């Protein structure tokens, strides 16, 4: 790769810059350019119906300025402008914006398209960069200024002839980032001289990084330079229009705002020429997650995705900030565990949203918590217990969670796929709940020996290896009494380490579920759960489940030992 073929970007010298210590404290004036810059970059540009639908969506989101197209470019563009105006699509507080080159027939056609509009921004541009002056226009600096001034004058005159419309003027030194900064200021000031802005009639100077050529801090330096050198700055709205060639269009815009800009042009999901424009969803949500009102409504991200994909025939990347399908997921066990703990804390005490790995509450943009934690072989106990808790109301004790996490991730590994909440539940039930072989509880009766039920007497019928046994025992509590009576029958020592239970609302009937952790004589732990409409019975079933796990583990060990001996 011949990198020597490229020359480095010459940065501007602005040593007394002040933007790095500034903060963005409010939303800028937003202008959507989806229907112009976004649209001109599509393989199949939008038709009239699609543009209307998209326009209505942008209005609903709260955009007050929408660049609707380049009316002189085609019949569709012209018709769209007329339809919006004639059929009353434009709310009182919304201003449409249109783009024009500095050529009289194009400017005339643009004004013709705007007839009858209440408010309109006429956006004039010509390329100012050294490269474009040399290659495309073959113009000197003076001729380039003349072209801009020519357009500015024509627009002013036409606006005066159409007083029924409240016109705002916008000028873009197109390819601004490839322009010498002193020349960029000079040409913008020449246009400002023509338009003579006032406090009540401000003009917009839009400074595009038509092609993103350098690091975002360079763009910020350029914006700060322009803010210092533009005439009548207080009557000029400085606007940003960043493209994303180096992948830093959003960052450049944010630094540009810190450098003093007032307004931002961009598109939803960053659609636009080549790598696209600055993404307004990204910019707006970056404000939102800093506690700043973005002044745009992003609460229904799914409908935004739907309209975008339908209109542009493109799709939102699964890792797109805020919107992608994988943005609210965590695959690795430690992330899942941290999210689970963070969410539990949010339920209890929540002044500010603070959940590890989730900078945004998915609910705020119409996403749900459910798909947060897909379980795969990289998942840990946190993810598994989160799914069982959120979807099935199972509050599994901590050590039990570890065992269940291990079993379920091993299952996912074996299946070589991510597994669903239903599968997790199924595996959990099959593995731990109401396990009835080789030990089974047929019936039981309990009786208190003292008045506080501390000492309990139990009678029960059990089946072990298909043989019935009638047992009677005393113990401290039902579970303990039951375990005491089983030791002899199964020929193993059993020690209860943990016993918990809760009512279970999932399913048709309210039930109780109990969780038991046992240890055998060598200290190995076994876990089981039992369900029943009675709490007492669920606990005995949990004991039976855990003992059955212990017996089958012992049987596997015995077989292994036999095989080793034979070998
Ligand atoms: C960075 C941006 O996104 S800028 C916006 C780009 N968007 C569009 O171009 C929208 C679609 N455009 C079009 O449909 C067409 O370009 C039209 C209808 C506007 C004009 O069509 P045409 O005149 O046939 O072609 P084209 O745009 O290539 O014109 C090139 C001529 O215009 C000149 N020109 C280009 N831009 C401008 C401008 N902003 N102001 C004045 N003249 C310009 C060129 O120098 C060239 O002049 P030349 O013929 O003397 O060499
Ligand atoms: C017309 C201008 C603002 C433009 O789209 C660009 O420079 O990218």
Among candidates 224, 197, 207, 166, which has minimal Cα distance to 13? 224
109 and 45 within one domain: yes
CATH number, position 529: 3.30.160.270
- Inter-residue contact 542 to 512 (CB < 8 Å): no
CB 135: neighbour CB atoms within 10 A? Answer: 10
Q: Could you tell me the distance, in angstroms and rounded to a whole number, from the CA of residue 180 to the centre of ligand 1?
A: 22
* Residues with C-beta less than 6 Å from any ligand 2 atom: 37, 99, 125, 172, 174, 206, 208, 210, 241, 243
List the structure tokens of 354: 């603070």
- On whether the CB atoms of residues 406 and 377 are closer than 8 A, the answer is no
Domain boundaries, position 401? 333-428
Q: Closest Cα partner for 124 from 178, 79, 187?
A: 187
Instruction: Judge whether 371 lies within some domain.
Output: yes
**What's residue 371's pLDDT?**
45
Q: 64 and 189: one domain?
A: yes
CA distance 29 to 88: 24
Q: Which two tokens stand for residue 288?
A: 């939102």
How far apart are the C-alpha atoms of 145 and 137, rounded to whole Å? 12
Q: Specify if 11 maps to a domain.
A: no
Residue 324 CA to ligand 2 centre (angstroms): 27
323, 300 in Cβ contact below 8 A?
A: no
For a mutational test of ligand 1's pocket, the pick from 101, 108, 175, i.e. the residue with the most ligand atoms closer than 8 A to its C-beta, is 101
Q: Distance, CA 184 to ligand 2 centroid (Å)?
A: 14
As a whole number of angstroms, the distance between CA 291 and CA 313 comes to 33
Pocket probe for ligand 2: among 124, 132, 208, 213, the residue whose CB has the most ligand atoms within 8 Å is 208
Query: Residue 71 Cα, ligand 1 centroid: separation in angstroms?
Result: 13
Residues 513 and 388 in one domain: no
- Whether 18 is in a domain gets the answer no
Name the strand (E) or helix (H) holding 362. none
What residue ranges of the chain have pLDDT lower than 70? 368-380, 505-510
Ligand 2 atom having least distance to the Cα of 175: 7
Q: Are strands 455-464 and 439-448 parallel, antiparallel or unpaired?
A: antiparallel
Strand duo 203-209 + 236-242: pairing: parallel
Phi/psi region, residue 357 (left: phi>0; alpha: psi -120 to 50; beta: rest), is left
Which helix (H) or strand (E) segment holds residue 205: the answer is strand 203-209
What spacing in Å lies between the alpha carbon of 7 and ligand 1's midpoint?
28
Q: What CATH number is given to the structural domain containing 191?
A: 3.20.20.70
For residue 536 the two structure tokens come to 């007492």
Which ligand is nearest the CA of 136, by number?
Answer: 1
User: In Å, what is the CA distance from 243 to each residue of 273, 275, 278?
Assistant: 8, 7, 6
Note whether 147 and 292 are same-domain residues: yes
For the CA atoms of 294, 299, 350, 341, what is the dihedral angle to 10 degrees? -120
Residue 86 shares a structural domain with residue 215: yes
Q: Classify residue 26: in a domain, yes or no.
A: no
* 237, 262 contact by CB (below 8 A): yes
CA of 308 to the centre of ligand 1 (A): 27
Cα first-last separation, the chain: 61
Considering the domain architecture, whether residues 121 and 81 belong to the same structural domain is answered as yes
Alpha-carbon gap, residue 471 to 299, rounded angstroms: 62
Whole-angstrom Cα distance, residue 275 to residue 260?
25
Q: Whose CA is nearest to atom 20 of ligand 1?
A: 73
What pLDDT, on the 0 to 100 scale, is given for residue 378?
67
Annotated binding residue 123: no
Q: Are 52 and 161 in the same domain?
A: yes
Inside any domain, residue 245: yes
Q: Are residues 383 and 268 in the same domain?
A: no
Question: Which DSSP letter does residue 11 get?
Answer: -
Torsion angle (degrees, nearest 10) of CA 475, 478, 480, 485: 70
Residues 420, 284 share a domain: no
Tell me 36's DSSP state: I
CA-wise closest residue to 38 among 112, 108, 99, 104: 99
Nearest-10 Cα torsion for 455, 457, 460, 462: 50
Dist. CA 120 → ligand 1 center (Å):
22
Sign of CA dihedral 54, 95, 150, 235: negative
pLDDT at 165: 98
| Three-state SS at 222 | helix
**Nearest CA residue ID for atom 38, ligand 1:** 101
Whole-angstrom distance, CA of residue 386 vs CA of residue 3: 50
**Ligand 1 pocket, residues with Cβ under 6 angstroms:** 37, 40, 70, 72-73, 101-103, 106, 125-126, 136-137, 147, 174, 210, 273
- Residue 513 domain-assigned? yes
Residue 373 lies in a domain: yes
Shared domain check, 178 and 105: yes
Backbone angle region of 313, left / alpha / beta, with phi > 0 → left and psi within -120 to 50 → alpha: left
Among 386, 402, 428, give the residue marking a domain's end.
428
Position 508 scores a pLDDT of 47
Q: Are residues 471 and 354 in the same domain?
A: no
Ligand nearest to the CA of 123: 2
**Taking a C-beta distance cutoff of 8 angstroms, is the pair 129, 179 a contact?**
yes
Please report whether residue 20 resides in a domain. Answer: no
Looking from the CA of residue 174, the nearest atom of ligand 1 is 1
**Which residue has 């800093």 as its token pair?**
290
Q: How many domains does the chain have?
A: 3
Q: For residue 100, give the ligand nearest its CA.
A: 1
């Amino acid at each position: 790769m011949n990198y020597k073929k490229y020359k480095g970007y010459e940065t501007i010298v602005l040593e007394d810059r002040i933007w790095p210590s500034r903060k963005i404290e409010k939303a800028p004036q937003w202008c959507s350019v989806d229907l112009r810059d976004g649209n001109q970059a599509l393989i199949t540009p939008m038709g009239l119906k699609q543009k209307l639908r998209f326009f209505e969506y942008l209005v609903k989101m709260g955009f007050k300025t929408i660049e609707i197209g380049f009316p002189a470019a085609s019949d569709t563009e012209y018709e769209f402008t007329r339809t919006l105006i004639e059929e009353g699509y434009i709310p009182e507080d919304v201003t449409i914006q249109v783009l024009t080159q500095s050529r009289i027939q194009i400017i005339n056609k643009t004004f013709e398209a705007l007839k009858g509009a209440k408010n309109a921004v006429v956006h004039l541009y010509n390329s100012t960069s050294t490269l474009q002056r040399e290659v495309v226009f073959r113009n000197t600096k003076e001729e380039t200024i003349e072209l801009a001034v020519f357009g500015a004058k024509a627009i002013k005159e036409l606006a005066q002839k159409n007083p029924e419309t409240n016109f705002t003027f916008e000028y873009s030194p197109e390819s601004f980032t490839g322009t010498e900064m002193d020349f960029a200021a000079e040409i913008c000031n020449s246009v400002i001289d023509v338009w003579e802005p006032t406090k009540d009639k401000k003009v917009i100077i839009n400074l595009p990084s038509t092609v993103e050529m350098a690091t975002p801090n360079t763009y910020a330096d350029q914006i700060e330079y322009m803010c210092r050198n533009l005439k009548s700055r207080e009557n000029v709205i400085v606007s940003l229009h960043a493209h994303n060639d180096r992948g830093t269009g959003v960052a450049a815009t944010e630094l540009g705002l810190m450098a003093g800009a007032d307004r931002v042009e961009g598109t939803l999901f960053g659609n636009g020429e080549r790598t696209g424009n600055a993404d307004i969803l990204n910019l707006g949500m970056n404000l939102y997650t800093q506690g700043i009102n973005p002044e745009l409504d992003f609460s229904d991200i799914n409908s935004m995705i739907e309209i975008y994909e339908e209109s542009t025939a493109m799709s939102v990347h699964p890792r797109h900030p805020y919107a992608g399908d994988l943005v609210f997921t965590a695959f690795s066990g430690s992330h899942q565990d941290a999210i689970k703990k963070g969410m539990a804390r949010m339920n209890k005490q929540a002044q500010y949203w603070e959940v590890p790995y989730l900078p945004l509450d998915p609910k705020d943009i119409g996403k749900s918590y459910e798909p947060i934690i897909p379980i795969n072989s990289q998942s840990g106990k946190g993810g598994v217990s989160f799914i069982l808790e959120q979807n099935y109301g199972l509050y599994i004790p901590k050590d039990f969670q570890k065992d269940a996490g291990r079993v379920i991730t091993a299952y996912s590994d074996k299946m070589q796929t991510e597994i669903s909440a239903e599968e997790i539940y199924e595996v959990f039930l099959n593995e731990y709940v109401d396990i009835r072989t080789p030990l089974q509880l047929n019936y039981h009766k309990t009786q208190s020996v003292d008045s506080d039920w501390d000492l309990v007497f139990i009678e029960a019928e059990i089946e072990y290896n298909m043989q019935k046994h009638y047992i009677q025992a005393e113990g401290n509590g039902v579970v303990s009494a039951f375990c005491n009576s089983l030791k002899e029958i199964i020929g193993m020592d059993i020690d209860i380490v943990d016993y918990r239970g809760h009512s279970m609302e999932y399913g048709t009937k309210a039930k109780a579920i109990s969780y038991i952790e046992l240890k055998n004589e060598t200290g190995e732990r076994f876990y089981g759960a039992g369900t029943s409409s009675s709490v007492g019975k669920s606990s005995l079933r949990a004991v039976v489940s855990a003992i059955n796990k212990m017996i089958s583990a012992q049987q596997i060990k015995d077989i292994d030992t036999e095989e080793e001996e034979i070998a």
